[in-house]
Amino acid sequence: MQTETRTARLLLRRPRESDLDTLFAIHGDPETNRFNPAGPMKTRGEAEASLHSVLTHWERHGFGYWAVENLPEPGHVIGFGGIIRKALQDRQTLNLYFRFRPQAWGNGYASELTSAALDLAFGPLGESEVVGIVRRNNTPSIRALERAGLSRIGEIDDLAPHEPSLIYAIRAPGEK
């Protein structure tokens, strides 16, 4: 599997150990976590564990969450996202995820990343479904999922005692 993909404006690449500080900065920013009841990452150790998990997924499956660079600014990571294999309600699925620096919001990068992730899932990976888990008050992410063709299919009580998250999904073309 290839370790990087280019879209019209983005380089989506396999994360590296050197991305640790950026991952911590983005995931540790209260603004990027305003819809996350767990809040931002608090320690570098949390970021190390997260990066280790992402890199392990890449080693096992040949794909995973990407580090996202804006092509006009090589080397400057503006976010992380993509798809990983994840258990959801007693079944394995591909989970779509994205998180960007606040300065990158409103530019359509989530839609561009989502399109590349769906192309990977339904093309080379030959998967039949991709899901996204989102908090019900995260209107910008819900809009991005809906623009990409995902529809709400249910809820999951993933962050008790907080209200359930919403599950959005899209089936591969031709799948029912």
Average the pLDDT over 60-86 and give the result: 96
Average pLDDT over residues 34-40: 89
Residues 6+ apart with CB under 8 A from 52: none
CATH number given to 4-171: 3.40.630.30
Give the HSE-up count for residue 92: Cα atoms under 13 Å, Cβ half-sphere: 3
Are 47 and 78 within 8 A, CB to CB? no
Q: With the CA atoms of 103, 58, 117 and 76 taken in that order, what torsion angle do they form, in degrees rounded to the nearest 10? A: 20
Q: Is the peptide bond before 161 cis (omega within 30 degrees of 0)?
A: yes
Nearest to 98, CA basis, from 61, 62, 147? 147
Query: Domain limits of the chain?
Result: 4-171
- pLDDT tens figures, 87-142: 988 889 999 999 999 999 999 999 999 999 999 999 999 999 999 999 999 999 99
